[in-house]
């Protein structure tokens, strides 16, 4: 039987097993291996510092002590088994620290003071099967610490004060049979997300992994926790592209598998049509509809034909249709605008099988007007209230009925209900205590209807439709704001609050608190609209600016577990 290897704690007196065999260790100690005084270790019996006490492991230890080799300590050369190395008090395990022992199969590094394991620390050990790193002082390790150990079957990281492990730490351990993580108290936050998934999918036998935090996780087994996905995913808005044109509004539409955006650019005297470039992965100019003081470009798709309604302050308003032969938009119709003096918004919508659009007139003498598609063109069918300086029109469905909301600077928003008999909108009720609204936007969250009401002076508000009336959910200070725009990407609901005086704000809906909370600030000069655009599994926000470039922000997903 092979005798134990014994050493004093000071590392000065050694007693090693000596057997005739070829040595794998070079005659001189490599300069990069700086071994400190070694501690006591019995490789034959169970190690008192080892957390792995499985019989199969102990048996393997006994069978790997049948040959001898040379091991270095400070200033001394020792002969020990070539598939084992005794404990050492290294300050850290450096890259390729044991590469001078390529035949090593078992390595123990227990009860040391080192706090770090560097990347590729065990490179050059292609035959290593057993690695015990126990009772040390490291709280984590580097991502590629165990890279290359494809034959490793048993790994112990027990009692190391580990709180987190880097993502995909065990990816290279193709042969791993047993992993011991006992005696460590992990922070079960986003950093542990990958480990939780790995524990559910690995074929290796793994010890219980207990959580030390956060407070609501303390004492729980990581193996038993549900997915942390919702807690470990965040988002951001990053600038993707800047378009060198000032704009008042943006509108998006899809046509024949392509995504387009129409920018109303009054100072450039045009309605710029941009197209998503699937190769360059950005938006490029596709067409330009020229005009005078264009304040709105609104698209509508009818019978596979795409139309652009162009509202102008001067020279009348027009409808353009896409001509496939010329591959551009050409004038289709002049809009009857004798009663419209100052168009401010265009709203398109469908009731049953009929298509409509409404133009909100913001002048004192103007009339907001409703237009209907008759198969050949759009013609006016109704004028709405006069002398109220309408600022915005918004179509909504409530309780299965069609409504049109008109916001105004001179009165509270008026809600019109569609009358099927007369085929016209009839004034239904008003939204109280909401004077001087410059924009109204409807949106839904979990089948609940909400309104975002923008006010330039005072507080903008979020209202919810409940019990046949709108009730206030939240007020947002909004001095200098011309737009409070709701939008959603997947299950995240946002509100973009523009400002002429300071940074614009993006708010995110908190499902637990049932309010929108501040999420991010972005700087846009005089923002007038925020339009969500999705293409190629990517999400963007077009931010129009009346005094600067139109900005395109990309909505990105951030995995906090990385």
> What pLDDT shows up at residue 513?
95
User: Which residues have CB under 8 Å from 557's CB, separation 6+?
Assistant: 233, 234, 235
Count other C-beta atoms under 10 Å from residue 166's C-beta: 15
Please tell me the distance from the alpha carbon of residue 470 to that of residue 468, in angstroms, as a whole number: 7
- Cβ proximity of 50 and 156 under 8 Å: yes
Q: Is 58 exposed, middle or buried (0-12, 13-18, 19+ CB in 10 A)?
A: middle
> What pLDDT shows up at residue 89?
62
Phi, psi of 396 (to 5 degrees): -140, 155
Please give the radius of gyration of the chain, using alpha carbons only, rounded to the nearest integer.
Answer: 36
Structural element, H or E, at residue 43: none
Phi-psi region of 329 (alpha: psi -120 to 50; beta: other; left: phi over 0): beta
Choose among 333, 264, 268: nearest CA to 294. Answer: 264
Choose among 229, 164, 156, 167: nearest CA to 194. Answer: 167
Give me the residues paired with residue 464 across strands.
450, 471
- What are the start-end ranges of the H helices in 154-270? 193-201, 229-232
Phi, psi of 197 (to 5 degrees): -65, -40
- Cβ proximity of 405 and 415 under 8 Å: yes
Choose among 381, 383, 396: nearest CA to 349. Answer: 396
> What pLDDT shows up at residue 18?
35
Cis peptide before 538 (omega within 30 of 0): no
> What pLDDT shows up at residue 215?
86
Please tell me the distance from the alpha carbon of residue 29 to that of residue 73, in angstroms, as a whole number: 9
Q: What is the pTM of this model?
A: 0.76
DSSP 88: B
Please tell me the distance from the alpha carbon of residue 531 to that of residue 45, in angstroms, as a whole number: 71
**What structural domains and CATH numbers belong to the chain?**
1-227 (3.80.10.10), 231-246+433-562 (2.120.10.80), 247-335 (2.40.128), 338-430 (2.40.128)
Question: How far is the CA of 88 from the CAs of 10, 40, 71, 181, 465, in angstroms?
Answer: 11, 9, 12, 21, 70
> What pLDDT shows up at residue 227?
66
Give me the residues paired with residue 369 across strands.
359, 383
- ∠ CA 41-78-137, nearest 5°, is 40
Count other C-beta atoms under 10 Å from residue 67's C-beta: 19
pLDDT in tens for each of the 562 residues of the chain? 333 333 322 332 333 333 443 434 333 333 333 333 332 333 323 333 333 333 333 333 333 333 443 333 333 333 334 344 445 566 888 999 989 889 889 998 888 878 889 999 999 999 999 999 998 888 889 999 999 999 999 999 999 989 999 999 999 999 999 999 999 989 988 888 899 989 989 999 999 999 998 888 888 898 888 766 557 889 999 999 999 999 999 999 999 999 999 999 999 999 999 999 999 999 999 999 999 999 999 999 999 999 999 999 988 899 999 999 999 999 999 987 777 889 999 999 999 999 999 999 998 888 899 999 999 999 999 999 777 889 999 999 999 999 999 999 888 999 999 999 999 999 999 999 998 999 999 999 999 999 999 999 989 999 999 988 999 999 999 999 999 999 999 889 999 999 999 999 999 999 999 999 999 999 999 999 999 999 999 999 999 999 999 999 999 999 887 7
User: What number of CA atoms fall less than 13 Å from residue 443's CA on the CB side?
Assistant: 20
Phi, psi of 57 (to 5 degrees): -70, -45
Question: How far is the CA of 294 from the CAs of 333, 463, 537, 551, in angstroms?
Answer: 16, 31, 32, 19
């Amino acid at each position: 039987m092979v005798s134990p290897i014994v050493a004093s704690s000071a590392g000065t007196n050694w007693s090693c097993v000596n057997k005739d065999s070829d040595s794998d260790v070079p005659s001189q100690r490599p300069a990069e291996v700086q071994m400190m005084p070694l501690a006591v270790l019995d490789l034959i019996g169970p190690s008192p510092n080892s957390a792995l006490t499985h019989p199969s492991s102990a048996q393997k230890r006994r069978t790997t002590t049948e040959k001898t080799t040379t091991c270095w300590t400070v200033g001394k050369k020792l002969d020990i088994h070539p598939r084992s190395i005794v404990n050492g008090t290294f300050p850290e395990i450096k890259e390729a620290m044991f590469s001078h022992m390529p035949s090593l199969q078992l390595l123990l590094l227990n009860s040391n003071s080192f706090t770090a394991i560097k990347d590729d620390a065990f490179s050059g050990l292609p035959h290593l099967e057993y690695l015990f790193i126990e009772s040390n002082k490291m709280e984590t390790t580097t991502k590629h610490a165990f890279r290359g150990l494809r034959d490793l079957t048993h790994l112990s990281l027990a009692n190391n004060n580990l709180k987190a492990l880097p993502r995909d730490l065990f990816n290279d351990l193709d042969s791993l049979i047993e992993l011991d993580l006992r005696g460590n108290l992990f922070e079960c936050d986003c950093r542990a997300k990958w480990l939780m998934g790995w524990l559910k999918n690995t074929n290796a036998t793994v010890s219980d992994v207990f959580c030390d935090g956060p407070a609501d996780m303390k004492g729980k087994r990581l193996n038993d926790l549900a997915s942390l996905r919702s807690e470990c995913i965040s988002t951001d808005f990053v600038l993707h592209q800047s378009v060198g044109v000032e704009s008042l509004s943006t509108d998006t539409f899809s046509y024949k598998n392509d995504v387009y955006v129409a920018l109303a650019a009054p100072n450039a005297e045009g309605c710029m049509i941009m197209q998503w470039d699937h190769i360059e992965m950005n938006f490029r100019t596709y067409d330009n509809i020229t005009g005078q003081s264009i304040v709105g470009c609104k698209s509508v798709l009818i019978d596979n034909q795409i139309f652009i309604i162009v509202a102008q302050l001067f020279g009348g308003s027009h409808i353009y249709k896409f001509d496939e032969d010329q591959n551009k938009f050409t004038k289709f119709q002049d809009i009857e605008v004798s009663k419209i003096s100052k168009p401010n918004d265009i709203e398109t919508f469908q009731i049953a099988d009929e298509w409509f659009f409404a133009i909100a007139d913001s002048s004192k003498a103007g009339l907001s007007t409703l237009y209907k598609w008759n198969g050949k063109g759009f013609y006016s069918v109704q004028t709405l209230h006069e002398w109220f300086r309408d600022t915005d029109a918004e179509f909504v469905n409530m309780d299965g009925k069609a409504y049109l909301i008109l916001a105004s600077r001179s009165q509270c928003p008026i809600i019109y209900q569609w009358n099927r008999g007369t085929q016209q909108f009839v004034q239904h009720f008003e939204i109280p205590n909401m004077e001087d609204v410059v924009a109204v936007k409807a949106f839904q969250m979990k089948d609940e209807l909400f309104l975002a009401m923008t006010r330039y002076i005072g507080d903008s508000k979020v209202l919810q439709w409940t019990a046949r009336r709108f009730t206030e959910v939240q007020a947002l200070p909004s001095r200098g704001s011309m737009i409070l725009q709701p939008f959603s990407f997947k299950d995240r609901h946002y509100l973009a609050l523009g400002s002429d005086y300071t940074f614009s704000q993006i708010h995110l809906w908190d499902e637990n608190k049932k309010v929108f909370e501040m999420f991010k600030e972005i700087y846009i000069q005089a923002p007038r609209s925020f339009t969500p655009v999705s293409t190629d599994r990517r999400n963007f926000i077009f931010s129009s600016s009346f005094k600067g470039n139109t900005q395109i922000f990309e909505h990105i997903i951030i995995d906090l577990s990385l």
